[in-house]
Structure 1
Amino acid sequence: MRARTSLEVAKRFLEQLGYRVLREHVPVVLRGVEVGEVDLVVEDAEGRRYAVEVKAGRLSVSGVRQAKVNSDLLGLTPLIVARGYSDDAARVLAEELGVKVVSLPDLMAVDEVELYSIVRAALEDAVLDIVCSLSVLEDPKAVEVLEAIASSERLEQAAELLGVEVRELEARLADMRRRGLIPPLVGYKRLRAYATALLILKKLALGEIRPIKTRGLG
């Protein structure tokens, strides 16, 4: 939820600065393989386009490198929205690599209506992701992947359960994202939680889990 809210805040902040949001969650593909993703592609008043990385916190050196690599692969100018730099090394590297950094103020002036819109958009995206992913439950091979992920604390463990190499599992997940079976999620912890939620919905639909009945009071 924090990542989604940060994205909505960044979109509105960039629009206030004169940028136009063109796309969201843009995959970075190299030789037919998805190797990354940028949060936004925006365009400024002069028509220049930027690959945007949105950071919920402060920008680190690794964040600068990631933004530079992804933008170069997309043929766009790198731009990062963050709450400042984590240290001088990140600032110096961004300047050296030509990565544009837009710093969000620690306290943004957001009125009640705008805050409601941001939170609502984040919630709608979360619900829509779940609904759009329900079709994954009709694919036995995809369900097998979800079950392995839900049962493992790390990607390596999930690959071991499936009897495949980590690279093959990553390729399967990339294919599932391209087919719209799962959304682009940051971090294995979120992917595991998402897989678990989908499998619970599957069990509920099949009647394998019964709703808890509560007794009235009094």
Structure 2
Amino acid sequence: MGRYMSLSSRTRWRSSERIAQRLLEEMGLKIIDVHRKVIVDGIEVGEIDFVAEDPSTGSIYGVEVKAGKIDITGLRQVYVNCLLANLKPLVICKGFADDSASILAEKLGIKVIQLSDWFLVESEELEVLMREVMEDLIEQYFIYLLIPVPKLKPEYDVVVKAISESPSISEAAEKLGMKVDELAKRISSLRSLGVLPPWARKYRTIKRLLELYKLKREFFEKLSQLITDIDTLRKELELLRRRLEVLEKTSLKKEELSNAQ
């Protein structure tokens, strides 16, 4: 018997998001922002998955990605978020939950793209898609390894250490003596500081990246020290060269005086 692998809702959503991004690009839309926060009077009230521009018309869309079908509640959320952000609403999903959702989308002017209308994946196409996903993942990690290492305050250093050494967020929070939601805020701050990339959401990914961060920081510290040592050695060699020149000139003068006598 074959083994059946069930995907978590989070995994399904991330997969749908990657497919949606590729679909938007194939439609000729330009992604100009990802996970844009909707702020009202300084308070975050929502989030828009993608902000995409249609270069041919200049229209800017707020794109909501659904792993499954869209219902009335989801449509209301999309409409309000885009209204507050002054964007045109667009939904990418696997269809409508019912007829009332379809009617509401039409009445509110929400553009809905159903994935089933776009994708009929053959085995060869699936192989190409998987390869592209792997290439994107490798590229993301490669870019992360190349970005400069920001200097952290001591209170964030202990957070990085706890997460990189803990198999779960609850254990990391326990080591730090704080609640999980408080640690989640610290992780969000690490994103803002550039220590973590925006796409790192799962704890396992965050842990792996912070392990890389520690290695990268150690590497750059040693590299910086090596550069300093080389520069010091260069200066010492230059000083030695000058001293040798002085000694050589002194020796020549002594030889000339000796010959003159």
Q: Mark yes or no: TM-score above 0.5.
A: yes
Alignment partner of 1:183 is 2:181: no
Structure 1 counterpart SS, 2:19: helix
* Counterpart selection for 1:22 from 19, 24, 31: 31
Alignment partner of 1:58 is 2:58: no
Match of 1:215 in 2: none
Alignment partner of 1:152 is 2:169: yes
Structure-2 change in CA distance of 1:195 and 1:91 (3 Å): same
1:76 Cα deviation from its structure 2 partner: 0.4
1:104 Cα deviation from its structure 2 partner: 0.9
After superposition, give the CA deviation of every residue in 1:44-97 in whole Å (9 maximum; x if it has no partner).
332211011222333344533442343233210111111112344543443454
1:28 Cα deviation from its structure 2 partner: 1.4
If asked which structure has higher relative contact order (CA below 8 Å, sep 6+), I would say 1
Letter in 1 for 2:95: G
Match of 1:142 in 2: 156
* Counterpart selection for 1:94 from 100, 105, 110: 105
* Counterpart selection for 1:7 from 4, 17, 21: 17
How many matched pairs? 199
Alignment partner of 1:78 is 2:95: no
Q: Which has the higher helix share?
A: 2
TM-score with structure 1 setting the length? 0.63
Structure-2 change in CA distance of 1:144 and 1:89 (3 Å): farther
Given that 2:25 and 2:31 are in contact with CA atoms closer than 8 Å, whether structure 1 keeps it comes out as: no
**5+ long unaligned stretches in structure 1:** 207-218
What is the aligned-residue RMSD (CA, Å)? 4.3
Given that 2:35 and 2:50 are in contact with CA atoms closer than 8 Å, whether structure 1 keeps it comes out as: yes
My pick for the range that moved more, 115-124 or 143-152, is 143-152
Match of 2:226 in 1: none
Structure-2 change in CA distance of 1:71 and 1:56 (3 Å): same
TM-score with structure 2 setting the length? 0.55
Structure 1 counterpart SS, 2:120: coil
After superposition, give the CA deviation of every residue in 1:89-145 in whole Å (9 maximum; x if it has no partner).
543443454332111127435764852663244323542475378947955433444
Q: What is the distance in 2 between the residues matched to 1:164 and 1:77?
A: 39
Q: What is the distance in 1 between the residues matched to 2:31 and 2:88?
A: 14
Structure 1 counterpart SS, 2:204: helix
After superposition, give the CA deviation of every residue in 1:130-184 in whole Å (9 maximum; x if it has no partner).
5378947955433444536964359xx9499654794x66654443333332233
**Greater gyration radius:** 2
Given that 2:33 and 2:52 are in contact with CA atoms closer than 8 Å, whether structure 1 keeps it comes out as: no
Q: What is the distance in 2 between the residues matched to 1:7 and 1:90?
A: 21
After superposition, give the CA deviation of every residue in 1:8-46 in whole Å (9 maximum; x if it has no partner).
4323433444x4213141421524565544332222332
* Counterpart selection for 1:115 from 120, 129, 132: 129
